[in-house]
């Protein structure tokens, strides 16, 4: 064993236990989200533990310790050590569900995400991962809350107008599909905005499909349909004018098959919009250019790559495994002739407009 440098040892310990501290803070954010504490703080301004207890009906002693932890971590701002406040920036990230910067959904299903750690040793031995339904209905609800703010605030007014001809086609009446639709938020936003068109959502997760159908029932939209891909596939008659795939291709066991199916389903003049994680061609580039690389590789082991290996012959791309170069190559192999990156100013996701 090489000699241990005391200074490097201290720095390494700081890094490792800093990661543990981050895990504790994340758990407390998840708890605060579940209990509605961030919403209460956003509405009520600076509060003492007793005031927060009165506002929420929760036990003051437990709230005091939670406030101390969130204040120590910098999630909340302390006012004299006895009052705590959620900043305006903190409010949009942790309390404002429809703001595009809202991130509370990513913490909502943290217990379920970390819960699969007990099952991963067997995955490491067998090579077979876990599907998204392994996280239960809470996992589907958390993923829905994670991505819904962008769909609700930016998809129709900001993203679609950048796709030439798409808005006009949808206004006239067209058929469109979202593959990997999850709980159907994007499908329902599009169905609400374009009542003359019909929108189809295709999904594998049973928990997500249950949420999608319930969301549709509550929205009262008759021009949306949801399909279990194990029973119903995309049409093969080149009838779809728009197909979308939001943050899902890297999760799929066989994205190459899905791309081939999309090519058969889309019209010769149709548009295929791909949204996926901004990834680079090597580990070194990802670490250099992505400050969240460590988190994303961890998420890949827990969720994305695990899902992509949930079938014995899955490709297992993972969270950072679908860079533009591979997306371009796979689309060409599926029969698409045009591939154009498009900038929507998203900090995490890349977007590509693909055409037959």
pLDDT digits 0-9 by tens, 294-323:
999 999 999 999 999 999 999 999 999 999
Cα distance between residue 67 and residue 54, in whole Å: 15
Mean pLDDT of the chain: 97
Q: Is the pLDDT of residue 90 over 90?
A: yes
The phi and psi torsions of 261 (rounded to 5 degrees) equal: -65, -40
Asked whether residue 102 is domain-assigned, the answer is: no
| Pair 151, 206 in one domain | yes
Asked whether residue 107 is domain-assigned, the answer is: no
Q: Which of 54-58, 80-84, 115-119 has the lowest mean pLDDT?
A: 80-84
Q: How many domains does the chain have?
A: 2
H-type helices in the chain, by residue range?
6-35, 37-44, 49-56, 60-73, 88-94, 104-108, 110-115, 120-126, 136-150, 166-172, 185-193, 206-219, 255-265, 283-289, 293-299, 305-308, 324-333
Residue listed under structure tokens 């994680």? 277
Q: Which of 33-37, 48-52, 276-280, 343-347 has the lowest mean pLDDT?
A: 343-347
User: What are 260-292's pLDDT values in tens digits?
Assistant: 999 999 999 999 999 999 999 999 999 999 999
Asked whether residue 203 is domain-assigned, the answer is: yes
Asked whether residue 104 is domain-assigned, the answer is: no
| Pair 289, 143 in one domain | yes
| Pair 61, 127 in one domain | no
Structure confidence at residue 37 (pLDDT)? 98
| Pair 202, 262 in one domain | yes
Cα distance between residue 253 and residue 62, in whole Å: 43
Q: Is the pLDDT of residue 22 over 90?
A: yes
* Share in percent of the chain as helix, strand, coil (round to 5): 55, 15, 30
| Domain closes at, from 65, 96, 127 | 96
Is residue 129 within 8 A of residue 309, CB to CB? The reply is yes
| Pair 165, 253 in one domain | yes
Structure confidence at residue 355 (pLDDT)? 98
Asked whether residue 187 is domain-assigned, the answer is: yes
pLDDT above 70 as % of the chain: 100
| Pair 82, 132 in one domain | no
| Pair 192, 314 in one domain | yes
Burial (CB < 10 A; 0-12, 13-18, 19+), residue 7, is: exposed
The answer for residues whose C-beta is within 8 angstroms of residue 45's C-beta and 6 or more apart is: 85
Which token pair is 141?
Answer: 């609800």
Confidence of residue 247 (pLDDT cuts 50, 70, 90): very high
End-to-end Cα spacing for the chain: 58
What CATH number is associated with residue 17?
A: 1.10.10.10
| Domain closes at, from 26, 61, 96 | 96
Asked whether residue 111 is domain-assigned, the answer is: no
Question: Other C-beta atoms within 10 Å of 175: how many?
Answer: 19
Q: How far is CA 7 from the centre of its chain?
A: 39
Q: Is the pLDDT of residue 1 over 90?
A: no
| Pair 141, 85 in one domain | no
| Pair 179, 87 in one domain | no
| Pair 256, 127 in one domain | yes
What CATH number is associated with residue 253?
A: 3.40.50.150
User: What are 151-180's pLDDT values in tens digits?
Assistant: 999 999 999 999 999 999 999 999 999 999
Q: Is the pLDDT of residue 81 over 90?
A: no
The domain containing residue 84 runs over which residues? 6-96
| Pair 195, 142 in one domain | yes
Asked whether residue 105 is domain-assigned, the answer is: no
The answer for residues whose C-beta is within 8 angstroms of residue 283's C-beta and 6 or more apart is: none
Structure confidence at residue 80 (pLDDT)? 87
| Pair 270, 133 in one domain | yes
């Amino acid at each position: 064993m090489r000699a241990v440098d005391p200074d490097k040892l201290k720095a390494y310990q700081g890094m490792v236990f800093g990661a543990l501290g981050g895990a504790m803070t994340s758990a407390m954010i998840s708890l605060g989200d579940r209990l509605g504490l961030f919403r209460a703080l956003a509405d009520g301004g600076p509060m003492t533990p007793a005031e927060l207890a009165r506002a929420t009906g929760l036990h003051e002693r437990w709230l005091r310790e939670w406030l101390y932890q969130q204040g120590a971590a910098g999630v909340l701002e302390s006012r004299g050590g006895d009052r705590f406040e959620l900043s305006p920036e903190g409010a949009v990230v942790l309390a404002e569900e429809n703001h595009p910067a809202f991130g509370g959904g990513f913490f909502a299903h943290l217990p379920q995400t970390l819960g699969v750690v007990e099952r991963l040793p067997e995955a490491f031995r067998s090579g077979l991962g876990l599907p998204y339904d392994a996280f239960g209905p809470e996992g589907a609800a958390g993923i829905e809350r994670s991505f819904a703010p962008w769909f609700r605030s930016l998809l129709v007014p900001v993203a679609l107008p950048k796709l030439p001809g798409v808005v006009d086609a949808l206004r006239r009446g067209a058929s469109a599909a979202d593959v990997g639709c999850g709980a159907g938020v994007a499908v329902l936003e599009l169905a609400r905005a374009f009542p003359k068109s019909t929108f189809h959502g295709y999904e594998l997760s049973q928990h997500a499909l249950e949420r999608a159908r319930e969301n549709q029932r509550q929205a009262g939209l008759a021009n949306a349909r949801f399909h279990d891909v194990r029973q119903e596939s995309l049409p093969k008659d080149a009838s779809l004018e728009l197909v979308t795939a939001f943050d899902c291709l890297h999760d799929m066991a066989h994205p190459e098959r899905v791309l081939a199916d999309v090519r058969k389903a889309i019209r010769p003049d149709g548009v295929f919009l791909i949204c996926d994680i901004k990834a680079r061609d090597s580990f070194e580039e990802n670490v250099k250019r992505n400050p969240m690389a460590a988190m994303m590789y961890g998420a890949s082991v827990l969720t994305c790559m695990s899902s992509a290996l949930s079938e014995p012959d899955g490709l297992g791309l993972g969270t950072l495994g679908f860079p533009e170069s591979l997306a371009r190559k796979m689309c060409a192999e599926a029969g698409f002739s045009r591939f154009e990156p498009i900038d929507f100013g998203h900090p995490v996701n890349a977007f590509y407009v693909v055409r037959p």
